[in-house]
Amino acid sequence: MTETDSNVYDVVVLGAGPVGENVADRTRAAGLATAVVESELVGGECSYWACMPSKALLRPVIAQADARRLAGLRQSVQGPLDTAAVLARRDGFTSHWKDDGQVQWIDGIGAGLYRGHGRLTGPREVTVTGPDGERHVLTARHAVAVATGSSAVVPDLPGLADVRPWTSREATSAKAAPGRLIVVGGGVVATEMAAAWQALGSQVTLLVRGKGLLGRMEPFAGELVGDGLTEAGVDVRTGTSLASVTRENGTVVAVTETGDRVEGDEILFATGRAPRTDDIGLDTVGLEPGSWLPVDDSLRVTGSDWLYAVGDVNHRALLTHQGKYQARIAGAAIAARAFGVPLLESDPWGAHAATADHAAVPQVVFTDPEAAAVGLSLAEAEQAGHRVRAVDVELSSVAGAGLYADGYRGRARMVVDLEREILLGVTFVGPGVGELIHSATIAVAGQVPIGRLWHAVPSYPTISEVWLRLLEAYRDN
């Protein structure tokens, strides 16, 4: 092992996923010398094992389902998907798990790239150990930003170590559809991967410990998505917990706590995430290894004047788009502090405070039907002490929905703060609703009064006309 001379930068970013890349982009644009450290592929989880491959797998599934709902087209799309073609298209979206293009981008913004495992070795210091054992000691004049993301949590079950279970990584990068796939979990990854692999040729059994799916959304979202999965052929079993998992002669055998046996060729655990902070040297700066890192709204770690935690590691909102939003905030805040500019006065846009994480986080579940939500659910709003009213509309009442698909089924809900008459949350479930959620995000984040929304006229005939129906229902009842 050799050690090179220390390298001094203004900012060192630990992790080169979308979040780390955006921090580096903003600090470089401000003129700060920036180094980026990455132990795997530049581009991170989203580019190679999450957002991009999963949505590439799901897009043909949803397009086929939509086509089957249209007279004149449904007879042409009754056959199975071409699984090999779908997987090949997926591979294209992951750049075949090569990061040459992302590396060129880092070079293009003028940031330094260090490949290897980075660890904090003291205040404002990161030591990078490369694949060949060479070490680089990086010093940050102003800030170190931790953007190492999160990893899948696999439960401690008897026999699991010998089973070689799938996590989200294997589920999005598999080279072929298993004949039988057991999926454990009831959240976004579990429902999306159940939908994808069922359509690509697997017989999927979905085991959900709770009473329903998508527990963080409105209850009807999980109900409608569950109905869609069942209609697609997925065996959905709620209220089911596992006692053990083994592999017998190549077959995965999952035994539930009630003694039922479920057999499959592979088993996917989509049962939560943990921060990737266990081996990045947190102990050298007085923090607990493996912990989530609490931050203020400028993404600076509580109690520190130089350490930032951006994206999944701060546990505010484990979503790529929210992490990138935080990265833009953090990069601007780091630059402002580096140049001695007061944060509250330097930017009239309020770009130094990540306020959206508190009240206006949007999310889309790309199942069939899609589920999209932003802000608080009815239960969350009530638990927070707001005086609220939920307004529900069946999407089948909207002319644009009927044109979109024969027999369109879906539902919309807005949660209204009765004191201020603004929206605290909106949920849509139905085919194509993912493209509706940004309008709701603007309404929630902007705290647009209900009276002003009445004058935001939706185009006819589109599914967006559901806004008119929601407002009418609120006004008339």
Tokens linked to 324: 């990138």
Q: Which domain holds residue 24?
A: 7-43+99-151+275-356
List pLDDT tens digits, range 39-57. 999 999 999 999 999 999 9
Residue 59 lies in a domain: no
Q: Which amino acid is at 276?
A: R
Domain count along the chain: 3
Q: Which pLDDT tens digit goes with each residue over 53-84?
A: 999 999 999 999 999 999 999 999 999 999 99
318 within a domain of the structure (yes/no): yes
**In whole angstroms, how far apart are CA 138 and each of 24, 320, 336?**
15, 27, 22
Same domain, 281 and 349: yes
For residue 3, what pLDDT is reported?
A: 47
Q: What is the pLDDT of residue 347?
A: 63
Instruction: Fill in the DSSP letter of residue 3.
Output: B
Is residue 74 domain-resident?
no
Asked if the peptide bond before residue 461 counts as cis, ω within 30 degrees of 0, the response is yes
Closest by CA to 289, choosing from 299, 275, 300, is 275
Query: Cα(421)–Cα(299) distance, rounded to whole angstroms?
Result: 31
Query: Tokens 């979040």 belong to which residue?
Result: 19
pLDDT of the residue at 477 = 84
Which tokens belong to 376? 């608080």
Classify residue 284 by burial, with Cβ atoms within 10 Å: 0-12, 13-18, 19+: middle
- Together in a domain, 310 and 260: no
User: Which pTM does this prediction carry?
Assistant: 0.96
The CATH code of the domain that includes 382 is 3.30.390.30
Cα separation, 50 vs 215, in Å, equals: 21
Q: Which residues of the chain have pLDDT under 50?
A: 1-4
The rounded distance, in Å, linking the Cα atoms of 148 and 120 is: 12
Q: What is the pLDDT of residue 342?
A: 85
User: What tokens were used for 470?
Assistant: 């929601």
CATH of the domain at 318: 3.50.50.60
**Is residue 125 assigned to a domain?**
yes
Query: What is the C-alpha to C-alpha distance for residues 98 and 58, in angstroms, rounded to an integer?
Result: 22
Residues 261 and 281 in one domain: no
Residue 169 maps to a domain: yes
What pLDDT shows up at residue 409? Answer: 97
Backbone angles phi, psi at 413, to 5 degrees: -140, 135
